[in-house]
A and B are shown apart, each in its own frame.
Chain A
Amino acid sequence: MTLLYSEVEEELRAAVRDLLADRCPPATVLARIESASPYDADLWKALARDIGVAGLLIPEELEGAGASAREAAVVLEELGRAVTPVPFLTSSVLATQALVSAGTDGARELLATLASGETTAALAVSFASSPYSLEWSESPQSPKAPGADTAAGTPWGAVAVEGGTLSGRVTAVAGADVADVLIVPASGALYAVEAADATVTPMVSLDLTRPISTVTFIGAPARQVSSGLRPLRAALDLGAGLLASEQLGVAEWCLTTTVAYVKERHQFARPVGSFQSLKHRLADLWMEIVQARAAARNAADALASGTDTATAVAVAQAWCGAVAVHAAEECVQLHGGIGMTWEHPVHLYLKRAKADEIALGTPGDHRDALARLADLPGPLGS
């Protein structure tokens, strides 16, 4: 195990960072968010095909790169640093991991098309689902068992299967608006549905760079790609663990940008960054980010090796979600008035950070999981 970055990882980072510096500066992202297509399809093609990030987690025999969570984590750091509007997390991590973990012929067929980046997929679950929501819904006492096929629903939606078709609705799905294929949990299994056979209605979203949608199925033709929900859990675990690296990237941009600003901004005939109250806040934030980097790396390393995964993921999410939000909030505050403007890109980061805090389990959800994992039980009778 190592928490450092390997040479290969640093090369991958440099390739992604160079491309984003060129193609995804803040002004470009700002201009795009209110256009008809918030995602940058051309940039995604360059990332997916030229650098090969779409197939990073796909096995080599399916035309993927056969890389591990460690490499995907480095990509996410850079995508977070630039709040890049591309479907890497939703398609190349979440949907891809569900299919890799399912491993059926149908899943493998889909993966081969995802590897090149020509096809994009999305996991049709609420972005607010945590890996642990599956645990309570699977317990026999729960009325919300995923096999129930009723409108009572599950944490990720209520979709019924009938004669090879799906009907139902899933809310707050990230990446569905750019997906060609939807991977849908229903009746205790995963199904693949062509996005054209579903109705995807984008919602007005807090995160302008990764909008969410409502996905509705009315007798949509579906192919079963797994026989259980274990692949869904694997996808949510990986997604949660790797989201920490995106949050790290968001936080690092916020700190770097704030430090640069307070060195330049003069009030009282001094750079405001020379005031001790600001220096101490930024020093504390820096330390939180040092800890976030160690936690995010540890989660990526654990996911890559498959050892100690649950605790590493829960620790990273319990810490990094709040750090990204704190960094973005400090960035707004220490920019003063300019930080409140639409023109300055910091709001993109604040919105991403706040949405990421909810995505794939809140910090509190992950702390609850740690109560069990670290044997620190709550009060009796609770």
Chain B
Amino acid sequence: MTVDEAALKERARAFLAEHDPAATEPLDFLRARFDAGLAWVHFPKGLGGLGAPRELQNVVEGELDGTPQTDVGKLAIGLGMAAPTILIFGTEEQKKRFLRPLWTGEEIWCQLFSEPGAGSDLATLATRAVRDGDEWVVDGQKVWTSGAHHSRWAILVARTDPDVPKHRGLTYFVCDMEAPGVEVRPLRQITGEAEFNEVFLTGVRLSDQLRLGEVGDGWRVAQTTLMNERVAIGGSPVRRGGGVIGVVAETWRRRPEIRTHDLHQRLLRLWVETEVTRLAGVRLREQLAAGAPGPEGSGMKLAFARLNQALSGLDVEMRREEGLAYDDWTFRRSDSVDFFGRGPGYRYLRAKGNSIEGGTSEILRNIIAERVLGLPSEPRVDKNVPWKDLPR
């Protein structure tokens, strides 16, 4: 039986009638919502969903507006990356164990992928996992891990076979962040704060039951995670004139004394570029809703990164004296990016990460060129060489 909009509405209303959000503990409400299949409707029954089309999630959100919600900023890695990967590659026990507390926010997730020596070339990573009976012993160093300091679990890619070419010797795990040997250190950024961490793994013992997918199949599993990351970064809807251009335009309107011909022309160009990028996003979501996703998605993150950087740079420049100041360099941890709550200098500096995080703009251009346009790849020197023999 397929679930349609009317059935979902009815189900959500029946759920509300049974679980008064005002009289229920928020966590109990969220758990009940998960158990009722109203967490993420496109997930299977018994795992927080109803096997319904993904776009019907909006119907549920509409009906349950104003009820207890999770902190989606804190849960971003879990919801956007870990969950879809567990759904595809996890065993039944893993799905049962992990998905519910992930969705309710009882357990926070982080991502242990990048390493100091493995950024764009993630498959060259060096963190080792060595089998020891029913366990794996993990040693290595990870970086750019947001939320590691309050995470219960991590998705981890580690090398289990150094004697085969790099893509083939990887295995994907769920890492217990409370296990002995896991050390988390904040990593201070150019903004002054620390959104990210370095994570040192020293003799960390993980049960084989924490492995996701087959031994040696980690690269394929990681691809699922990374595709979901890019969709999450490039995909949110905005209204015309909203977002960063809205902040810049507001200053422009309020302060006529800063206007020059040069800034005016640049601002108008960026306003147009923002609008056509917004429209491309609208079109992409229409394609997704029609069940025919186009290749446009690959480009959205690229376009957003360029726009954010250009606009935040213009914002600092046009404020002149104010642009010479910065709001706060204090070294502190931050759980999420407060893009609009901070000053223009912060936005300028933080936007620099947009073309690096989640796939650099250069890698994204390669992906578009090779997968969308079908252009040949560059000659590779690392494809058929055992990982241990690669220069590094």
Contact = CB atoms under 8 A, between A and B. Distances in A.
Given A4-B283, A319-B276, A367-B265, A279 B299 contact: no
A132 interface: no
A288 to B, nearest CB: 9
A280 B369 contact: yes
A295 interface: yes
B303 A259 contact: no
A275 to B, nearest CB: 8
Nearest to A2: B286
B374 to A, nearest CB: 7
B286 A3 contact: yes
B249 interface: yes
Given A263-B374, A279-B370, A376 B264 contact: yes
A273 B283 contact: no
Nearest to B296: A290
Contacts of A375: 249, 253
A290 B280 CA distance: 7
- Chain B interface, >50% SS class: helix
Contacts of B366: 276, 279-280, 283
Contact of A379 (B264, B279, B282): B264
B272 A274 contact: no
B376 A376 contact: no
B379 A270 contact: yes
Interface in A326-382: 367-368, 370-371, 374-380, 382
Interface string B362-387: 10111011101111111100000000
A287 B306 CA distance: 12
A378 B290 CA distance: 41
Interface string A138-169: 00000000000000000000000000000000
- Chain A interface, >50% SS class: helix
Contacts of B249: 374-376
B283 A293 contact: yes
A279 B365 contact: yes
Given A4-B283, A262-B375, A271-B376, A379 B260 contact: yes
Contact of A3 (B282, B364, B372): B282
Given A3-B279, A294-B280, A287 B268 contact: no
Contacts of B273: 291, 319
A379 B259 contact: yes
Contact of A294 (B252, B283, B365, B376): B283
B267 interface: yes
Nearest to B302: A287
A315 B252 CA distance: 20
B131 interface: no
Contacts of B373: 259, 279, 282-283, 286
Contact of B267 (A270, A275, A283, A376): A376
A24 B249 CA distance: 47
A371 B268 CA distance: 7
B67 interface: no
Contacts of B240: 311
A1 to B, nearest CB: 9
Contacts of A318: 268, 272
B275 interface: yes
A298 interface: yes
Contact of A274 (B275, B362, B377): B377
B261 interface: yes
- Chain A interface size band reads 35 or more
Contacts of B370: 279
A77 B2 CA distance: 39
A297 interface: yes
Contacts of A279: 365-366, 369-370, 373, 375
B332 interface: no
Contact of A263 (B269, B271, B375): B375
A325 to B, nearest CB: 15
Contact of A273 (B257, B279, B372, B376): B376
Contacts of A271: 375-376
Given A291-B277, A376-B268, A283 B368 contact: yes
Contact of B375 (A2, A4, A259, A294): A259
A11 interface: no
B283 A274 contact: no
B241 interface: yes
A3 B299 contact: no
Contact of A315 (B272, B302, B303, B376): B272
A132 B366 CA distance: 41
B276 A291 contact: yes
B283 A376 contact: no
A284 interface: yes
B290 A291 contact: no
A374 B271 contact: yes
B256 interface: yes
A2 B287 CA distance: 10
Nearest to A318: B272
Contacts of B241: 374
Contact of B365 (A275, A283, A293, A370): A283
A278 B375 CA distance: 10
Nearest to A256: B373
Nearest to A269: B379
Nearest to A279: B369
A367 B286 contact: no
A292 interface: yes
B268 A367 contact: yes
B369 A376 contact: no
A119 B183 CA distance: 81
A382 B261 contact: yes
Nearest to B370: A279
A80 to B, nearest CB: 18
B314 to A, nearest CB: 12
B376 to A, nearest CB: 4
Given A286-B299, A371-B264, A375-B253, 18 more contacts: A4-B286, A4-B287, A271-B375, A273-B369, A278-B375, A279-B373, A280-B365, A282-B375, A283-B364, A295-B276, A297-B279, A311-B240, A318-B268, A367-B268, A367-B269, A368-B268, A370-B272, A371-B268
10 contacts: A259-B374, A273-B376, A287-B303, A318-B268, A371-B268, A376-B253, A378-B259, A379-B259, A379-B260, A379-B264
